[in-house]
Amino acid sequence: MRPMGLMGLIRPMGLMGLIGLMGLMSLVGCSSDDDELKPLASQGTIIPEVASYVTWFEEANGSSRSNRAWAVPSGYAAYEGGIKPIGIAFTQNTKEPMMGNFFFSSGKWRTSVEDIKAETYYLYGYIPHLPAIRYSITDLDGTNANYSTGAIMTLENVPTVMANDLCVAIGAKQGEDEETVEGLRRGDFAYAAKATSGGGEDAKGNYVFLLFDHLYAALRVKMKVYADYAELRTIKLKSLQLSTQADETTSKLHNTITIELEANDGSASPIQSITYEQTGATIGTGDDEGIEFWKSETTAGQELTTTFQDFTGHFMPSGITTLVLTSVYDVYDTKGNKIRENCSATNTMVLSELLTDQTTTQRGKRYTVNMTIRPTYLHMLSEPDLNDPTVEIDN
């Protein structure tokens, strides 16, 4: 099977986490007497193949999905976030880290990291990379002396709620081609860069396989319209916003996340600790009720039916006891006339009331909530009731 773009491998979240396979090719134009992998100019170095893999989310009800992908570590499958940039650090002992990212541009995968040589590096990174996120790294002693034993990664200005699955690299390996890699495992960050052959878009020689683990939890909203109501009105969903709370305290807009990674033999996760420090203003102090994690691709909104449709967001999980979901939608009559615009329905979900034996959310777990849009007073069915529906959580 040939990797198709940037994909991922996720096994049940909370177990081993997310694995990313990155086929890293054509670090451009090396002559026989020069083993530097020379970068292209402003476009970055071309990487024709990049594919990421992550572990499946662990469902909050205890069930999980098994891996049905090709021969990668057990329990992994394609990253569900699609083609997303990857923040990456090429590190070597006693040297300053080379910071940059892998990104997709003009139909090709590229890297902004320059002057990569045919040497061994220790790769540390995260997905997805956002321009606003500030990424820094040291070794376990807070210096640049010994990246071979692990690293301390710091991500600053990370949104508390995100549309995509935020993950950290937990292993790296050089592959033979887009499909072949030996010894790929968590806890091993060593990547032996090779001199490329050919030049420009025809250059070949480097394939990077990355393993990732989840830093956030996921909320999957399954939403539909009540059958009797669907015969009278059409609902078009425009956006979903999420706010989170730790007991009575609403979360802030951003976080500084510090991850300590220690190289090992693969018998355990290399993640030694993760800390989340909230920063910025409190969620909901602006015009919106929460942070938007889903928005319709069209201005008219996505039409909801009597069959559940899935909408997923990701959020900082530490200490979170309550999820506050705001749905924004328009209401139409059976002739397609817009009756109400930008209706807003807010649902507060206390975790202890949704699940037994769990009071706070956990990273690597996916929480699924079924919701149905109904008129406010179904049995009266007066016009005001029809035009001002509510969103109810299904028991």
pLDDT in tens, 273-327: 999 999 999 999 887 889 999 999 999 999 999 999 999 999 999 999 999 999 9
Q: Which fold has domain 217-251+283-393?
A: Immunoglobulin-like (2.60.40)
What's at 41, amino acid-wise?
A
The answer to whether 112 touches 105, Cβ cutoff 8 Å, is no
Q: Bridge-partner residues for 333, per DSSP?
A: 233
Tokens of 198: 């050919």
Tokens of 127: 């997905």
CA-nearest of 283, 275, 364 to 323 is 283
How far apart are the C-alpha atoms of 177 and 23, rounded to whole Å? Answer: 7
Phi and psi at 344, nearest 5°, equal -130, 125
What's the confidence (pLDDT) of residue 195? 65
CA-nearest of 156, 159, 318 to 253 is 159
Predicted confidence (pLDDT) per residue in 22-77, tens digit: 333 322 222 233 333 333 334 566 544 555 556 556 667 644 443 332 355 666 65
Q: Give Dmax over CA atoms of the chain in angstroms.
A: 84
Domain ranges for the chain:
9-128+164-214, 217-251+283-393
Q: Which residues contact 377 (CB under 8 A, 6 or more apart)?
A: 385
Predicted confidence (pLDDT) per residue in 77-113, tens digit: 566 777 889 999 999 999 999 999 988 888 777 789 8
Using a 10 angstrom Cβ sphere, with 0-12 exposed, 13-18 middle and 19 or more buried, the burial of residue 144 is middle
